[in-house]
Structure 1
Amino acid sequence: MDKLMNSHWVMRVIALFMALMLYASVNIESAPSVNQPSTPLSQSPTADKATVTEVPVVTYFDQENLVVTGVTESVNVNLEGATSSLTKARQLRDFEVYADLTKLSIGTHRVKLKIKNLSEDLKASITPSVITVTIEEKVTKDFQVEVDFLNEDKLEEGYTPDQPIVNPNSIRVTASKELIDRISSVKAAVNLENAEETVNRESRITIYDSDGNILPVEVEPTVVDVTVPIKSPSKSLPFKIIREGELKKGLSISSIEPDPKEITVFGPMDVLDKLEFIDGVTVDLSKINKDTVIEVAVPIPEGIKKINPEKLKINVDVDEQEEKAFTDQEIKAVGLSEAKNLEFIEPETGTQDVKIYGASNVIKDIKSSDIELYINLSDLSDGEHEVDVEVNGPQNITWSLENEKVKVKISSAS
C-alpha cells in the first residue's frame, strides 16, 4: 500500500479522477432546472419582432346618445415575443386595439389606446398610442332629398326631364350638432344619358356642406328610389275619320263628333316635323242603327313613341233620311290644258240634276252653291271621251246623279 501511494503514476491517476469529479459536480449544479422560469424574451434564442399594420380601432361609448369624432380608423401594432405566438398573432389578428370612452364627458379628450386579447408571451406598442377625440351629443334631423341630373346635356334633342319623384322623399340624418348644422344639401344622383322615357333608379344618398364637401354622417335610409319622367317632343295633330260600310237604309248621319278633336303624339323631332295629321281612324257605319258612342283605337304613326289618348270616343247621331233636289247644276271641267277646247256632247248643256240625302238638320241649310259637280280631264287627248262625274259637298250627305257619266269632245285650239 505504501508502495502504491509512493508511486508517481498512481498519484497522477487519482488526481485526474478527482479533477473529473469536480468538473462534473460543477456542471451538474449550473444546469437549468426544468421548473425554473424561462429565459427573458430579449435573451431567448427564439424571440422575434414584427409590425402588424392597419389594425382597426374599436371605440366603446354610449352610441345611442353620443357621437365621437377624431378616432383614427387604424393603427400599427409593434409586437415582440416568441416566434410561434408572433406568427399566430400576425396571421389571425385576433387581438383588439380599443379606446375606452365610457367614462368621459362631452368635450375633447386625449385618450390612450389599449390592446386586449393578446398572447401573454407577447409585448406590444401602438403607433400612434394616443388620439384626440371629441364627444358630442347625438342629434337626429329629417331632410328633404334633392335630385341631381347627370348628363342632362346628353339627352336627345327636344327631350327634357320633368319633376322627379323620390321615395321616400325625406331621409333621417344622425350626427353631432356641429355636423348637422353644416349640412347644406341632401342629394340623390340620376344619370339621364340617352334617356327617351321615364327613368327609374335606386340612388345612394350623399350629404354635402355649403362648400360641396361630403359629410360623414349616419343616414337612414342610405338608398332611395327615384323616378324621373322624361318629356319627349310632342305635337298636336288633327285626324281623319274614315267611314266604312253603310248605314241601314233610310238613315243618315246627323253628326259625328270625336272627343278629343286632336291627338298629341310624342317622338323624335325629325319624325314630328313630317307629320301633318293622323290617318286611319275608322268608323264602321254598318254597325250603327241609332245614336251611339263608339270607342276607336288611334293608330300610332311610324316612328312615334306614344300617343295621347290611345283611344277616341266618337259620338254618332243618326236621323231619318230626307231628300233634296238641285236642277241644272253646272258641270265644271278640271285638268284641261289652256291650249285645248271642250265641248259637251251629252248632255249638251253641260249641266245635270242632282239629289242629295241626309238628316233634316244637315240638308235643310244646304244651297245649290254648296254642291259642286266636276269632271277630271287630265291627260286626255283630243277626241271624244266618256268621263265620270264627281261630286263635292258638305259632310254627312249622300247623293245621286241623273247621269253618272257625260260625253265630251276635246280639240286643240286653232
Structure 2
Amino acid sequence: MLQQKLFPQTVGNGGEKRMDKLIESPWVMRFIALFLALMLYASVNIESGSPSKSQPPPLLGGTTSTTDKSTVTEVPVVTYFDQENLVVTGVPETVSVTLEGTTGSITKASKQKGFEIYADLTNLSIGTHQVKLKHKDLPDDLTASINPSIITVSIEEKITKSFPVTVDFLNEDKLEEGYEPDQPIVSPNSINVTASKEVIERISAVKATINLENAKETVESDATITIYDGDGNILPVEVEPSVVDVTVPIKSPSKELPFKIVREGELGKGLSILSLEPDPKQVTVYGPLDVLENLEFLDGIKVDLSKLTEDTVLEVAIPKPEGVNKVSPEKINIKVDIDNQEEKLLSDQSIQEVGMSEGKRFDFLDPDLGSIDVQIFGAPSVIESITSDDIELYINLSDLSDGEHEVKVEVNGPQNITWSLEQETVKVKISSAS
C-alpha cells in the first residue's frame, strides 16, 4: 500500500518495469528507511511533550535513597562483668554516638535509642585494661562511631567492710536559746560498704546528716548515708543499708523543782499516816527560759487517803505545767506507811494574829485568854515527839473593820498528824489604837 501511495501505478507493462527498477535501487530504499525513522521520532516526542530524560528508578514509597549523619549524645554505657565479686572503675556513664545511614533510620534510632553501647569485661582479669566499646541492636542500614571508642578500665576484687555511722548536725546554730542536741541514736549504728580494697582504705567517715533548725523536741528522721575520704570528697560506693533511722534528743532549758503532795479524803477510823515518802523528791521540768523562771514548785500531785488501808506504794503521774515541754520523770512513786492511830492533848495553845492593819488593835473576847486546847492524832512514833512548839494556831485579821468578829482558827503542824480544836472559831474585838 505504501508503495502504491508513493509511486502511483501506470497503465501498461512499461510502467511496471520502471517501478521495479526504482524499488530495486539502493538509494530509494535508504530514503524510505530514513523517512520512516523520522516519522517514528516525531511521533514519540509529540506524545511525551518534552525531550526524554534518564532518571533513576524511584524507591519504595516514592522517595529517593539519601545518606545522612547525626550524633546522639548521652547514650548510657552498659558494662558486663562479674558484679558479685568484682569492682570496675573507668567506664563512662554515657558516650556520644554518631550514626550514619538513611535519614529515616537515623531519626528512628535517635528517638527510640533502641540500640546499646556496652563494654564487655567478662573475660578480663584483675588489673588495668584498654577496652573497645561496642554496639548492638543497631539497624543493618546504619553504622555507628562511638566517642570515646576506647576506654581504660580498672578491675579489682570487691570487698565488704563494716563502718560505724556518725551524725552531722545541720543548722545547729538556729536552735533557740538554751536548746541543744543530745547524743544521737542511729539504727542500725553501723553499715556495710562494698568497694575495691583501694577505695575501702580511703574511707575516712561514714555520716548521716540531720537538720535541727528550730527543733524544740526530739527529732526523729530517716537519713541517707554519705561516704567521705580524708579530703572530704564523696566516694561512690555500694552501701547497705543506704538509709538509717536517726533519733536526736533535744535538751531544752531545765529546772529542778520540788512538788507539793495534796492529801485528799481520810483514812479509816483508827488509822494514821506513819510516813509518806516520794521517790524522787524533785522533778526536772524542761521548757522556755521565760516559763521556767516563774516556776517555784509543782502542784497538783494528789493522794486519796480514803482508798488506803495498809502500807502501799502509789505510782502517781506528774502534771505538766502550762508552757512546759516535758517533766522528768513523768511519774513518781509515793511510799505510804500506815499505823494505828493514837492521840495526844496539847493544852493552852496560844493563838497568834496575822494581817491586822496598822493603827489597829484587837482583844480576845472568847476565849478571853487567847488560848485553846488542841488534840492531835497520829501514829505513836509520830506524836510521841511532838510538843507545843510544833503546833501553831493563828487567826487572820486582814481587812476586818472595827468591832466584834468571829474568826476561824487556822493550824500549822507537822506532816502525818491530824488535830481537833477545843473550838473552831474565836471572838475578837478590833478597835483603832488610841
**TM-score for the superposition, normalised by structure 2:** 0.83
The answer to whether the Cα contact below 8 Å between 1:321 and 1:359 also exists between their aligned partners in 2 is yes
The one-letter amino acid paired with 2:272 is S
Question: Cα gap change, 1:72/1:312 in structure 2, threshold over 3 Å: closer, same or farther?
Answer: closer
Would you say the 8 A contact 2:65–2:102 is kept in 1? no
What SS does the aligned partner of 2:341 have?
A: strand
Question: 1:191-270 residue pairs with structure 2 within 5 A?
Answer: 191-270=211-290
Pairwise CA distance, 1:6 = 4.7
- List aligned pairs for 1:367-406, cutoff 5 A: 367-406=387-426
Q: Is the 8 A contact 2:357 2:399 kept in 1?
A: no
Cα deviation for residue 316 of structure 1 reads 2.1
SS in 1 for 2:192: strand
2:30 is the alignment partner of 1:11: yes
CA shift for structure 1 position 256: 1.4
Between the aligned partners of 2:319 and 2:304, the Cα distance in structure 1 is 16
Please show how residues 9-408 of structure 1 align to structure 2 within 5 Å: 11-15=30-34, 45-408=65-428
**Partner of 1:149: helix, strand, or coil?**
strand
Q: What do residues 87-133 of structure 1 show as CA deviations (whole Å, max 9, x unaligned)?
A: 33222222222233344443333333222222222222222222222
- Match in the other structure for 1:27: none
The separation in 2 between residues aligned to 1:400 and 1:64, in whole angstroms, is 88
**Which runs of 5 or more structure 1 residues have no equivalent in the other structure?**
25-29, 39-43
How much has 1:72 moved relative to structure 2?
Answer: 1.9
Deviation of 1:208 (Å): 0.9
Gap change, CA 1:386 and 1:211, over 3 Å in 2: same
Deviation at 1:213, TM superposition (A): 1.0
- Which amino acid in the other structure matches residue 153 of structure 2? V
Distance in 2, Cα, partners of 1:58 & 1:295: 66
Q: 1:242 is paired with a residue of what secondary structure?
A: strand
Q: Is the contact between residue 5 and residue 11 of structure 1 (CA under 8 Å) also seen in structure 2?
A: no
What TM-score, normalized to structure 1? Answer: 0.87
| 1:106 to 1:274, Cα distance in 2 relative to 1, 3 A | same
Residues 259-292 of structure 1 show CA distances to partners (whole Å, capped at 9, x for unaligned) of: 2222232333322222211111112222223333
* 1:286–1:111 CA distance, 2 compared to 1 (3 A): closer
> How far did 1:18 drift?
6.2
CA contact (8 A) 2:349 2:373 kept: yes
2:272–2:379 contact (8 Å) kept in structure 1: yes
Separation in structure 2 between the aligned mates of residue 377 and residue 8 of structure 1, nearest angstrom: 169
The C-alpha deviation readout for 1:180-236, integer Å capped at 9, x for no partner, is: 222111111122222233322222111111111111222222222222223333322
Summarize deviations over 1:334-354 as a string: whole Å, max 9, x none: 222342232222322222222
Which protein shows a greater Rg?
Answer: 2
Aligned twin of 1:41:
none
The separation in 2 between residues aligned to 1:173 and 1:16, in whole angstroms, is 98
RMSD between aligned alpha carbons? 2.8
Q: Distance in 1 between matches of 2:83 and 2:348?
A: 103
Q: Percent identity between the aligned chains? A: 68
Aligned AA (2:352): K
The code of the aligned residue for 1:117 comes to D
Deviations 1:298-347 (A, max 9, x none): 32222223323333322222223222222222221222234223222232
Evaluate the alpha carbon distance shift between residue 312 and residue 180 of structure 1 in structure 2; reply closer, same or farther with a 3 A threshold.
closer
Matched residue SS, 1:63: coil
My pick for the range that moved more, 210-219 or 378-387, is 378-387
Q: Secondary structure at the match of 1:86?
A: helix
CA contact (8 A) 1:373 1:389 kept: yes
1:212–1:5 CA distance, 2 compared to 1 (3 A) = farther
**Which deviations, in whole Å up to 9, do the C-alpha atoms of 1:160-183 show, x marking residues without a partner?**
222222222222222222222221
- Corresponding letter in the other structure for 1:343: D
Could you tell me how far 1:365 is from its partner in structure 2? Answer: 0.9
Q: Residue 7 and residue 311 in structure 1: after superposition, are their counterparts in 2 closer, same or farther (change >3 A)?
A: same
Partner SS for 1:238: strand
Aligned length: 399
What letter matches 2:227 in structure 1? I
Q: Is the 8 A contact 2:22 2:28 kept in 1?
A: no
Does the Cα contact within 8 Å between 1:150 and 1:193 map onto a contact in 2? Answer: yes
Q: Matches of 1:297 and 1:396 in 2, distance apart?
A: 22
Q: Secondary structure at the match of 2:306?
A: helix
Q: What is the rounded CA distance, in whole Å, between the counterparts of 1:221 and 1:107 in structure 2?
A: 29
Flag the 1:65–1:345 CA change in 2: closer, same or farther, 3 A: closer
Contact kept in structure 1, 2:280 and 2:332, CA below 8 Å: yes
Give the 3-state SS of the residue equivalent to 1:85 in structure 2.
Answer: helix
1:364 Cα shift? 0.8
